[in-house]
Structure 1
Amino acid sequence: MLTKKSRIKDVYANPIGRDIIDRVLLQMNISKKAVTNPIVGNLKLKVLPKLPKSQLDEGFLDTLLTLLNTEHEAAKGNDEAILKAWWKEAVFYQIYPRSFKDSNGDGIGDLQGIISKLDYIKELGIDAIWLSPIYDSPNDDNGYDIRDYHKIMAEFGTMEDFDRLLTEVHNRDMRLIMDLVVNHTSDEHMWYQKAIHEPDSKYGDYYIFKDQPNNWTSFFSGSAWNYVEERGQYALHLFSKKQMDLNWENETLRHEIHDMVKWWLEKGVDGFRLDVINYISKRSGLPDGNESIGKLMEYHGVEHYFYGPRLHEYLHDMKEKVFIPYNAFSVGETPGTGMEMSKLLTADYRKELDMVFSFDHLETPGHTRFDDYQYDLNYLKSYMINWMENYGNHCQPSLFYENHDNPRMISKINSDRHYRNVLGKLLAVIQLTLRGTPFIYQGQEIGMINQNFRSTSDLRDVESLNLYDELCNTMNKEEAFAKILAGSRDHARTPMQWNNQQYAGFSTGKPWIMMDEDYKNCNVEAQLQDENSILRFFQKLIALRKEHRVIYYGEVLFINQKEKDLFTYYRKDGTETLYIEMNLSSSNKKRAKYPEGIRLLSNYAEDSSSFLRPYEASIWKYN
């Protein structure tokens, strides 16, 4: 039990404490040595509010200790062999249906459009498809506000279309996982409508109501509470005003969710990606968020639900009752969790989730998604080394840069289009040669970049538009637009670029969201005809990954760890050794040594003896 007399080093030894401290240091761009050195490490917690210029108060310590003391277990060591599983060998491909392929000319992607491109996905080398939400929805948050879990959004097609899609995916020896959004539903969901109109029914407690709101804020700006006239109470929404948080404390609700998931698994779905799944357990009484934490994290209340007191119980229960009987795969979106919490969520012996998405590598220290800056790949190198060396054999890392919620990675690293081809290939080498399961986001395989949005009228993302309105209270419109442009989710949501014809071959009608003219030079059709394209490189690299199984379960041995801009490592098992070398900069970099094997694949046609060229990445096989 940690108390105010505990020392900082004791907090850092706690799995939650370590992740929280690491997250704060990352956000403030401060080295871990600031905490792990003996002087600071031996400070007692009770002295922190008394330090000069300290912005912490007693309430901060009380909140912190309550959170830390919910977790007493640490993950097991690394002395057992990695358990084999299909999803540890698979390459996943995320489809954002609204923007993938339109079959009927209404400017909105649909299920028939996806079916028409399954051969393309198979030929890329993909083993499993992750489908962003296709359920019936009023589309306040592009499908993540679900109105009916058992219906298909009319714009996307019908349940018959989905059944055919699932059959066609399986006919090609691929698997299909769906998005499971169960932290919240749309306010138009039948459960919510009954909760507000029939408060004495079983649905009256399916959501989180409060007579007076606390100070929690929404991730989409403003208060996290809506006043509900029908009940004379306030209802919680951590995201948009139409996404109402479900009350997982209600056992009957949990059973309804389990039954709904089983219904999809009975259809043959192979698993789920679980949206913000670590938010489902809120602290009893819904206390106010601490002001110090709120200022630091830019959201009030997050400490009371990002790793809630019953989270493990709920996940274990769903695993035992739903996922295990159907042999279903699960990967959780878990914003705010670091490595130690992720271990406890995914370790195979704990039977909760198979994997999680942790997001600390998507921004460099001191930056957030809406900052306009150039991403330093040396941070990605240090992050990957840490996870590869310390995550352990009981847990499987997820390898990704892009998804429907983040801008394009190439644009974040270097906007000079001269490097686009080699940089896209370098990122692929990192993603597909380290240990872990790769998740490729649509368009990543052709090197799609951020779009040239001209004004807020071009945007569709509720998060970006809400933030813009909020920023306009403190800065002029030009500055506010530049801010949201740096991190808008819409960069990842523009239509897939299939060819150089009108609307990039995505649709015969005007797309639901604008697209600039990048598709004229960057598209699937052109890259399939170019052996040196990013797309062809992805195909070769995925095939190489399948041929050399050392990548799945072999040892990762890093060398030259302290050499800036140089990322080198071996993949070894008892039968073969691969050597991967990469230059993380836009300048030539002297080689640490010349490899002694056969060059299997590189993003440059010819080898150079003594140096690596800008963003050069090569894979060698040693005898």
Structure 2
Amino acid sequence: MQELAWWQSAIIYEIYPRSFQDSNGDGIGDLDGILQRLDYLAQLGIDAIWISPIYPSPMADFGYDVADYCGIDPIFGTMGDFDRLLAEAHQRGLKVILDFVPNHSSDRHPWFLESRSSRESHKRDWYLWRDEPNNWLSNFGGSAWEWDEATGQYYYHSFLKQQPDLNWRNPAVRSAMFNVLRFWLERGVDGFRVDVMWLMIKDYQYRDNPPNPGYGPDQPSSNSLLHVYDSNRPDVHVLVAEMRAVVDDYPGRVLIGEIYLPVKDLMTYYGQDLKGTNLPFNFLLLQSAWNAEAVAQVISEYVNALPAGAWPNWVLGNHDNARIATRVGVQQTPVAAMLLLTLPGTLTIYYGEEIGMTNVPIPPEEVQDPAEKNQPGIGMGRDPERTPMRWDGSLLAGFTCGKPWLPLGGDHTFVNVASQEQEESSLLNLYRKLIALRRMYPMLVSGEMLSVVADENLLRYERRGVGKRFLVLLNLGNDSVQAKTEAGTVIASIRSDREGEQVDSLVELEDSEGLMIELAR
């Protein structure tokens, strides 16, 4: 078997830097804070950290409005702090992946300030300017076009008006942004997660989007139209291939694309001859209903749709979606962990998932997220899943000695790292055990995945490699179930200390229990 690239066997750990660890008491996490927790991450067993944006920014969208693509925001530290974090991570065998935000900049970026200075500006065409707006809508509510009084035109913004979209049809924009990639690659970063990759090119005729017949009043206003002309345009694949070529000039680096599209469209981002993004993020499980039939269908659909030679990846949580424990229920979080960590390919874990953090209710006066402020009351806010990491049961959870930028949540006294490290059967120790098994048995990464079947609340599938077969049984229900099995030995369990148990033709699983059985040949 061909040796895998590091990212193919990797478990990637997403860090939302504002919320991971504060080192200076301002209540906001920073680079030195991440550095302080590298040993924890190494002990967890992950391979790479992906850090959400740390660039200079007015923080209208908490770093996804970039004012300088080649700097560090003082909130997070200095470039020296970043270089030290990178070196210390590499010393521990951890890779570092940065968030790249190419679709839009901040309206404070020098490029946009120059672009809006006059219609004759040499950077006018770096952004999307129009005399008349079409009907395109912002993902954060309202029209995507903002009137500029000084120059008498509208500019386009897929998100906030403080986030004007760059014109990727302009070769000068491509050159400048590819030089940004090179700046960080030369510095030693190991790859990029590319924000909203599927939005980067828009219809050059600016045609109106058609109405969405399935739109309901409980949905965000952006769902009232079908995004035919402002997203997933065929031309985007040329850009992705060019971006991949830049990254490939630096051996051992990875390009990951954020893409929220149906599976058929998602697969096109691997690119012709697999020269697109290495990993188009697979959010299908994150969006799936939590029952055995739905999960089995999602897994089978994805695996069967993969182009020849394309590498799979799986995501259960991130900074834009409700936490796993909130979506599936606290009782099911160990089942979700066993599911994720027994799937083939590259895995991504969101900080705090390993201790079962849930969404934290945010009082209206403490809401920070502009997605909620612009469209209150329809659940667009992402603050609940971005709250500070809980390191211990103290008043401020070991996150800060100041006032946390978001509330910690009432359960932090027992849902925290220190408490779970002391408890043998904790979720944290289950994650560590399953990650260790994944290291011990490479077939869990690159072996075959067979017989994905749902039987009422029971999800079952087989992982097969050279000389070994593992049966995974997951009870996604609240009642005990019996499962047929061949003879074998339990090598991992969730609810009880069943490792080493010999099974034969039938095995019982309690509610919310999972087993991994090594089958006799």
Fold-level similarity (TM above 0.5): yes
- The aligned counterpart of 1:604 is 495
Out of 136, 159, 163, the position equivalent to 1:243 is: 163
- The aligned counterpart of 1:259 is 179
CA distance in 2 between partners of 1:488 and 1:527 (Å): 29
CA contact (8 A) 1:180 1:273 kept: yes
CA distance in 1 between partners of 2:406 and 2:44 (Å): 26
- The aligned counterpart of 1:305 is 230
**Is 1:183 aligned with 2:76?**
no
Q: CA deviation at 1:241?
A: 1.5
CA distance in 1 between partners of 2:90 and 2:245 (Å): 25
2:60 partner SS: coil
CA contact (8 A) 1:585 1:614 kept: yes
Superposition CA RMSD, Å: 1.9
2:492 partner SS: strand
Q: CA deviation at 1:195?
A: 0.1
Letter in 2 for 1:238: S
CA distance in 2 between partners of 1:377 and 1:233 (Å): 52
- The aligned counterpart of 1:121 is 41
Distance change (3 Å), C-alpha of 1:616 and 1:392: farther
**Is 1:222 aligned with 2:222?**
no
- The aligned counterpart of 1:508 is 401
**Is 1:462 aligned with 2:354?**
no
- The aligned counterpart of 1:40 is none
CA distance in 2 between partners of 1:545 and 1:393 (Å): 24
Structural mapping, 1:163-182, within 5 Å: 163-182=83-102
- The aligned counterpart of 1:196 is 116
CA contact (8 A) 1:145 1:184 kept: yes
Query: Between Structure 1 and Structure 2, which shows a larger proportion of helix residues?
Result: 1
Normalised by the length of structure 2, the TM-score is 0.94
CA contact (8 A) 2:136 2:209 kept: yes
Q: Kindly provide the CA deviation profile for residues 226-248 of structure 1, in whole angstroms up to 9, marking residues without a partner as x.
A: 10112100000010111110000
Normalised by the length of structure 1, the TM-score is 0.79
Q: Kindly provide the CA deviation profile for residues 375-415 of structure 1, in whole angstroms up to 9, marking residues without a partner as x.
A: 4453223211221233244222221111110111121223x
Letter in 1 for 2:487: E
CA distance in 1 between partners of 2:305 and 2:247 (Å): 30
CA contact (8 A) 2:283 2:315 kept: no
**Is 1:359 aligned with 2:283?**
yes
CA distance in 1 between partners of 2:335 and 2:272 (Å): 31
Q: Kindly provide the CA deviation profile for residues 73-122 of structure 1, in whole angstroms up to 9, marking residues without a partner as x.
A: xxxxxxxx888322110111000000000001000000000000000000
CA contact (8 A) 1:347 1:395 kept: no
Q: CA deviation at 1:178?
A: 0.2
Distance change (3 Å), C-alpha of 1:380 and 1:459: farther
Q: CA deviation at 1:202?
A: 2.5
Structure 1: gaps of 5 or more residues = 1-80, 366-374, 469-479
- The aligned counterpart of 2:451 is 558
Distance change (3 Å), C-alpha of 1:352 and 1:118: same
Q: CA deviation at 1:321?
A: 3.3
Out of 429, 439, 445, the position equivalent to 1:546 is: 439
- The aligned counterpart of 2:219 is none
Out of 279, 289, 297, the position equivalent to 1:382 is: 297
Distance change (3 Å), C-alpha of 1:144 and 1:309: same
Structure 2: gaps of 5 or more residues = 217-221
Structural mapping, 1:98-177, within 5 Å: 98-177=18-97
2:105 partner SS: strand
Out of 231, 248, 253, the position equivalent to 1:323 is: 248
CA contact (8 A) 1:195 1:203 kept: yes
Q: Kindly provide the CA deviation profile for residues 273-315 of structure 1, in whole angstroms up to 9, marking residues without a partner as x.
A: 0000111111112111112468487143621132113111111
Letter in 2 for 1:465: K
CA contact (8 A) 2:267 2:280 kept: no
Structural mapping, 1:363-374, within 5 Å: 363-364=287-288
Structural mapping, 1:342-353, within 5 Å: 342-346=266-270, 349-353=273-277
CA distance in 2 between partners of 1:301 and 1:200 (Å): 34
Distance change (3 Å), C-alpha of 1:562 and 1:447: closer
Q: CA deviation at 1:347?
A: 5.2
2:116 partner SS: helix
2:135 partner SS: coil
Q: What number of residue pairs does the alignment pair up? A: 509
1:107 partner SS: coil
Letter in 2 for 1:106: D
